[in-house]
Structure 1
Amino acid sequence: MQKKIYTKSWLDNDTFAAWTFLTPALILLGIFVIWPIAYLFYLSFTAGSFTSSGIYWIGLKNYWRLLLTPDFWQVLGNTAYFTVATVIPSLAISLGLAVLLDRSLALRGILRSAYFLPSIISLVAAGLGFRWLFQNTGPVNALLDVFGITPIFWLGDTFWAMPVLIILSIWKQLGFNMVVFLAGLQAIPASRYEAAELDGANAWQQFWHVTLPGLQPTLIFATVTTAIFTLRSFEQVYVITGGGPLNSTNLLVYYIYQEAFAQFDFGYAAAAATVLLAFTLVLVYFQLRTWGEE
């Protein structure tokens, strides 16, 4: 009787098979993510432009310029203020809306769609809408006038211009975070609430000791994504204020754009972009460590 001979297939080697299937994704990751980051880091140590004169190595001078430029520090302060004032309310309000919608079975689908709608609207279109709303003769000032309040020069005042950008960013991110929190709430077992209720816990105690611990992975995800969305904000500034008045609404991404594509100072812009990348990575790292994520 003739024996069957089985040859070992290359698919039997799990490691080789894994690398084979991962290679296309790793190539794309290297071309479109790792290489641009590496080139950005290299560019931050150079000066010149992409012309016949080319670029040349200058070492740490671009980073030294950042440290000595008052506008850069003002932009950093603007970005920090904008980020904190956007992330915290957008998380708190969306979590409150999610808790309310989780208890409203009848209108959950309609309200979820209504709140999520701003997330799919173009930021440029939304920015133009907010610019119209908050212009000197716009609907917001008209409403203030009805209540006898003096109209505010929203987009031309160094104090009030930034809140307009913050309101737009919160409104834009609210629906996405709400849907994320709603999914997290529905994943918490109802038995936990029943046990807490039997132990005599009121609504606030149930929220604090059952809802928040159960939402910890969701909170981490929502915080990180909202922070990244806020730090990369560009369209709001470009469409509504242009960084003014007096540089009061200039954010780091818009500052990088100005230096790179208005001043053609690519090395200096690359240094600022490297600082933004490092700041984002550090922020995400501390967020994960704070919430105890491994």
Structure 2
Amino acid sequence: MTPSASKVAVTAGRVQPRPAGAGHPSVGGRRSFWTVRRRDNLVGYLLIAPQLLGSALFVLLPLGLVFWYSMHEWNVLAGTFEFVGRENYDRLLADANLREVLGGTALFSAGLVVLNLALALVLAILLNQRLAGTTFFRTVFFSPVVVSLVAWTIVWQFLLQDDGGLNGLLGVAGIDGPNWLRGEGTAMTSVIVVQVLKNVGLNMVLFLAALQGVPGQLYEAAELDGAGAWTRFRRITVPLISPTILLTSIITVVGSLQVFAQIAVLTQGGPGMSTTVLVYYLYQQAFQFHHFGYGATLSVLLFAIVALLTVAQWRMRRKWVFNET
């Protein structure tokens, strides 16, 4: 065998290095601008362009306009639009009603989040069992989610009136029920319960999907080791569904801070201001009292609270969400 043939035989099984620029089309010996990577990037940008455009037009632009309006006094009736700088923010700090409004908002959000998540998790655990009729009850508990919010609220308004259906049932049992929507001690509780029953089915379905993704072998191994039901729930179920708990908590917190229709239909913020939450107070200032500049300032405050709570929950996930670092 000649030396050249021997060299060819030795190098025949090796992977030869690819020359730089090989595989890319070239024009006149120069590398083409439209490489495979750039074409892929262009396709990706084109696919997300509608979403980016929608976010810019319907999220970023309105946020910027709200902040701009908050520095003006806009009188629609008089047709004036006057720049006032930070006057609306000074008014926000001096608003005597704001503390009560924020307290009512915090009470409503806390009650809604705790009851909603707890009830949804309990229902999901029960409906995850292999029992007869679980499909029927899943449908029953999820049905209110797809019902019109206003229709749902109007029905409950009739049920919770002083002479409504709920007090009628209590009267059969010899109990004199209160005026649920006009008592200071019952109005907020009634609104919270109505909202919980409306949306608990959504979180229930999310928890149910998470529970069905937990491997059954883990429960079997824990049971063989002598772990009880509570230990299995605390050590296996909660950690493995913790990402879903994070998701549902963020969704529920944000939704609780944006509640409006239930308050407007059931209590109109009363009695007094006991059920006046921040969004309803914003509506009153802007559309009832025509203080659009101050209403925009309250919108900025609402955005700041939602953003702060969302970021706080997202940052805290590393301490309790499974497989997060």
Q: TM-score, normalised by structure 1?
A: 0.93
Determine if the alignment matches structure 1 residue 69 to structure 2 residue 98: no
Q: Secondary structure at the match of 1:47?
A: strand
Instruction: Work out the percentage of aligned pairs sharing the same amino acid.
Output: 37
Aligned-pair CA distance for 1:146 = 2.9
State which of 50, 62, 77 in structure 2 corresponds to 1:24: 50
Q: Secondary structure at the match of 2:181?
A: helix
Task: Provide the residue aligned with 1:199 in structure 2.
Answer: 225
Bigger helix share: 1
Task: Provide the residue aligned with 1:155 in structure 2.
Answer: 181
Determine if the alignment matches structure 1 residue 276 to structure 2 residue 314: no
Q: Deviations over 1:174-217 (max 9, x none)?
A: 10110000000011111211221122111110000000000111
State which of 244, 250, 254 in structure 2 corresponds to 1:224: 250
Aligned-pair CA distance for 1:5 = 9.4
Task: Provide the residue aligned with 1:256 in structure 2.
Answer: 282
State which of 242, 256, 263 in structure 1 corresponds to 2:268: 242
Q: Which has the higher contact order (CA 8 A, sep 6+)?
A: 1
Task: Provide the residue aligned with 2:124 in structure 1.
Answer: 98
Q: Does structure 1 conserve the Cα–Cα contact (< 8 Å) formed by 2:76 and 2:290?
A: no
Q: Does structure 2 conserve the Cα–Cα contact (< 8 Å) formed by 1:91 and 1:222?
A: yes
Q: Does structure 2 conserve the Cα–Cα contact (< 8 Å) formed by 1:135 and 1:154?
A: yes
Hey, what's the Cα distance between the residues in 2 that align with 1:79 and 1:129? 24
Q: Deviations over 1:222-278 (max 9, x none)?
A: 111111111111110111111111121111111111111111111100111111111
- The count of aligned residue pairs is 291
Q: Does structure 2 conserve the Cα–Cα contact (< 8 Å) formed by 1:102 and 1:186?
A: yes
Hey, what's the Cα distance between the residues in 2 that align with 1:20 and 1:170? 41
Q: Secondary structure at the match of 1:59?
A: coil
Q: Does structure 1 conserve the Cα–Cα contact (< 8 Å) formed by 2:210 and 2:244?
A: yes
Aligned-pair CA distance for 1:24 = 2.6
Name whichever of 48-57 and 114-123 sits farther off: 48-57
Aligned-pair CA distance for 1:105 = 4.4
Q: Deviations over 1:68-98 (max 9, x none)?
A: 1122221111110000011101100110110
Aligned-pair CA distance for 1:50 = 4.6
Name whichever of 139-148 and 263-272 sits farther off: 139-148
Task: Provide the residue aligned with 2:64 in structure 1.
Answer: 38
Q: Residues 200, 39 of structure 1: CA spacing in aligned structure 2 closer, same or farther, 3 A cutoff?
A: same
Hey, what's the Cα distance between the residues in 2 that align with 1:79 and 1:94? 22
The root-mean-square deviation of aligned C-alpha atoms, in Å, is: 1.9
Hey, what's the Cα distance between the residues in 1 that align with 2:221 and 2:173? 49
Q: Does structure 2 conserve the Cα–Cα contact (< 8 Å) formed by 1:11 and 1:17?
A: no
Task: Provide the residue aligned with 1:85 in structure 2.
Answer: 111
Hey, what's the Cα distance between the residues in 2 that align with 1:285 and 1:261? 31
Hey, what's the Cα distance between the residues in 1 that align with 2:171 and 2:136? 33
Hey, what's the Cα distance between the residues in 2 that align with 1:44 and 1:72? 17
Name whichever of 145-154 and 178-187 sits farther off: 145-154
Hey, what's the Cα distance between the residues in 1 that align with 2:273 and 2:91? 18
Aligned-pair CA distance for 1:157 = 1.3
Matched letter for residue 251 of structure 1: V
Task: Provide the residue aligned with 1:172 in structure 2.
Answer: 198
Determine if the alignment matches structure 1 residue 144 to structure 2 residue 144: no
Task: Provide the residue aligned with 2:214 in structure 1.
Answer: 188
Q: Deviations over 1:5-46 (max 9, x none)?
A: 946546541434333332232111100111001111111111
Determine if the alignment matches structure 1 residue 266 to structure 2 residue 292: yes
Matched letter for residue 256 of structure 2: T
Q: TM-score, normalised by structure 2?
A: 0.84
